[in-house]
């Protein structure tokens, strides 16, 4: 029988081993305390999700800027104008500032920058890609009903009116737009086929569901075009009663009036004869002091 007899370590040896074991245990506990927050998989997952979301935010902002670029193109194209769902707050200088900021921040974050957006930033507006191309790129970056609406409008402006109408109808049918904007899509479909009365009704429905100043402006203009005097006056007064919006952005209010009058002129609609009509319209266009009601009275009296 082979028995291995281990020699008992000396007292010094035992003390040395004990001190090593204590040192290792101390180190282990300190390292656990220090490292625990940084190696937790949940902590890493949260940060990774936030980073992904930041990338998505960059993409969304770039898509929105492309959408606005398409709308800026459409604003210069009288063929693309509908009364309904008109963008009223587009400012090319502000847009350029926003693009510059986004490009700067996206590159600082080492995120991708869309080529169309970069092209629009670097080139003058006349050399931009067509509105349809920009709207398509925006739809790729930010798929959703708002991008679909802009794309449908660019198709309308490109002369594909039936296709635009069917696109508008599809958007309206899908019910994906909120706060009455689905009715705005239906109104745009009706207007693109020339049914202004149906467009007015849809805009009024959108207004009732809280679509805001866009639907109200569109309904106001359509009511004027259709000669619905009482309704136009009521809408004009409601638009003027939007005190917070007027106070917050008097220039925007003036821009709405200018836009409406500009569209009026581009459509070749002649105001009915009335004394001092021309001067009242000029006043409305040049300043926000004279309101929509004055314009409405002038045009419908």
Cα distance between residue 61 and residue 215, in whole Å: 24
| Nearer to other proteins among residue 185 and residue 225 (C-beta) | 185
Residue 171 in contact with other proteins, rule: CB under 8 A: no
**Residue 234 structure tokens:** 């009521």
| Least distance from other proteins to the Cβ atom of residue 189, Å | 18
| Nearer to other proteins among residue 144 and residue 227 (C-beta) | 144
Cα distance between residue 221 and residue 202, in whole Å: 13
| 250 contacts 288 by C-beta, under 8 angstroms | yes
Residue 146 in contact with other proteins, rule: CB under 8 A: yes
| 120 contacts 68 by C-beta, under 8 angstroms | no
List helix spans (H) across 76-160: 92-108, 115-122, 131-141, 145-157
| Least distance from other proteins to the Cβ atom of residue 110, Å | 8
Residue 46 in contact with other proteins, rule: CB under 8 A: yes
| Nearer to other proteins among residue 146 and residue 192 (C-beta) | 146
| Least distance from other proteins to the Cβ atom of residue 199, Å | 21
Contact pick of 45, 77, 276, 289 for other proteins (by CB under 8 A): 45
Cα distance between residue 286 and residue 258, in whole Å: 8
Q: 115: closest CA among 95, 142, 133?
A: 133
| Least distance from other proteins to the Cβ atom of residue 272, Å | 37
* ∠ CA 195-199-204, rounded to 5°: 155
| Nearer to other proteins among residue 17 and residue 47 (C-beta) | 47
Question: In this structure, how many other beta carbons lie within 10 angstroms of the beta carbon of residue 220?
Answer: 29
| Least distance from other proteins to the Cβ atom of residue 255, Å | 22
What would the 3-class secondary structure string for 148-189 be? HHHHHHHHHHCCCHHHHHHHHHHHHHHCCCCCCHHHHHHHHH
Cα distance between residue 217 and residue 296, in whole Å: 12
Residue 105 in contact with other proteins, rule: CB under 8 A: yes
| Least distance from other proteins to the Cβ atom of residue 55, Å | 8
Q: Which of residues 63-102 bind other proteins (CB under 8 A)?
A: 101
| 217 contacts 198 by C-beta, under 8 angstroms | no
Residues 6+ apart with CB under 8 A from 12: none
Here's the x/- map for other proteins, 9-38, by CB under 8 A: it reads as -------------------x--xxx-xxxx
Residue 142 in contact with other proteins, rule: CB under 8 A: yes
| Least distance from other proteins to the Cβ atom of residue 267, Å | 31
Residue 127 in contact with other proteins, rule: CB under 8 A: no
* Stretch near other proteins under the rule CB under 8 A, chosen from 46-54, 125-133, 212-220, 225-233: 46-54
| Nearer to other proteins among residue 216 and residue 228 (C-beta) | 216
Site residues (vs other proteins, CB under 8 A)? 28, 31-33, 35-40, 42-43, 45-47, 49-51, 53-54, 56-58, 60-61, 101, 105, 108-109, 142-146, 174-180, 182, 209-210
């Amino acid at each position: 029988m082979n028995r291995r007899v281990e020699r008992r370590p000396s007292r010094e040896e035992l003390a040395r081993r004990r001190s090593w074991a204590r040192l290792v245990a101390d180190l282990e506990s300190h390292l656990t305390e220090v490292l625990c927050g940084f190696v937790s998989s949940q902590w890493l997952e949260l940060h990774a999700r936030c980073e992904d979301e930041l990338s998505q935010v960059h993409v969304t902002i770039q898509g929105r800027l492309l959408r606005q670029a398409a709308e800026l193109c459409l604003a210069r194209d009288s063929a693309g104008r509908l009364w309904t769902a008109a963008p009223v707050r587009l400012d090319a200088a502000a847009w350029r500032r926003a693009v510059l900021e986004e490009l700067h921040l996206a590159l600082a974050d080492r995120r991708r920058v869309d080529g169309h957006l970069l092209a629009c930033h670097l080139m003058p507006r006349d050399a931009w890609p067509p509105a349809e191309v920009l709207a398509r790129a925006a739809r790729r970056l930010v798929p959703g009903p708002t991008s679909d609406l802009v794309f449908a409008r660019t198709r309308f402006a490109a002369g594909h009116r039936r296709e635009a109408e069917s696109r508008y109808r599809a958007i309206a049918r899908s019910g994906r737009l909120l706060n009455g904007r689905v009715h705005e899509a239906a109104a745009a479909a009706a207007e693109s086929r020339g049914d202004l009365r149906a467009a007015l009704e849809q805009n009024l429905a959108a207004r009732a569901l809280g679509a805001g100043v866009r639907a109200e402006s569109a309904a106001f203009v359509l009511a004027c075009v259709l000669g619905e005097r009482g309704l136009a006056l009521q809408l004009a007064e409601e638009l003027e009663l939007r005190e917070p919006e007027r106070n917050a952005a008097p220039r925007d209010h003036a821009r709405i009036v200018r836009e409406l009058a500009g569209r009026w002129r581009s459509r070749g609609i002649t105001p009915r004869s009335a004394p001092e009509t021309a001067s009242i319209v000029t006043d409305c266009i040049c300043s926000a002091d004279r309101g929509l009601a004055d314009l409405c009275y002038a045009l419908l009296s």
